[in-house]
Chains A and B, each alone.
Chain A
Amino acid sequence: QQPVQSPQAVILREGEDAVINCSSSKALYSVHWYRQKHGEAPVFLMILLKGGEQKGHDKISASFNEKKQQSSLYLTASQLSYSGTYFCGTETGGFKTIFGAGTRLFVKA
């Protein structure tokens, strides 16, 4: 079952922060996060495993709440290069990751 992402779209000014949420109705084994720029392939950002871990990646970090079956992606001090569509992918067991519909992020100067 496809995870639900929110918001669907967000517009930021450079330097502002954003949070993108991803929730599932199923118990999660792991959560992936990707960014895709227009006309390009998705690019892997990070993976979080069950156990409630939090990861950081420069000014982009994420958390995983196993109990709530939710993950959040935090973008701080956004830059123009952060613009794109962000996808979460959830794995509930097995070898496959199911992706959400995406959150479009636009950062303006």
Chain B
Amino acid sequence: DAGITQSPRYKITETGRQVTLMCHQTWSHSYMFWYRQDLGHGLRLIYYSAAADITDKGEVPDGYVVSRSKTENFPLTLESATRSQTSVYFCASSEDRVRAGYTFGSGTRLTVV
């Protein structure tokens, strides 16, 4: 199916474990983003990517790692999950940073216990 998909939809993990959230888009958009959403904070940018093999930090990158070996995939890894990383994570993509908006995936609700 065309679009942007995130997996898993829901995840519960324990403190200290490594977790990877997946994001896949079928449009070959150059730009991809990871945001986390917490009550009262809106959407905060974790990492973004302008193309394959080009990534950069956003507002809240600590504790997260990204990679982008292929244009269509942009996985986000929590190296050692902490309770403060409990959040809803949204992946987004855009074809043009100047004139196009972002299309968001359905989100992953992550709970760290």
Contacts and interface: CB of A to CB of B under 8 A. Distances in A.
Contacts, number: 59
B48 A49 contact: no
Interface residues of B, number: 26
A96 B42 contact: no
User: Is the interface on chain A under 10, 10 to 19, 20 to 34, or 35 or more residues?
Assistant: 20 to 34
A92 interface: no
A34 B31 contact: no
Given A2-B42, A42-B43, A96 B48 contact: yes
A100 B59 CA distance: 13
Interface stretch (B13-21, B65-73, B79-87, B99-107): B99-107
Contact of B104 (A2, A41, A98): A41
Contacts of B99: 47, 49
A96 B102 contact: no
Tell me the interface secondary structure of chain A in the complex: strand
A33 to B, nearest CB: 8
Interface in A30-66: 30, 32, 34, 40-47, 49
B98 interface: yes
Interface of B: 31, 33, 35, 40-45, 48, 50, 56, 58-59, 90, 97-107
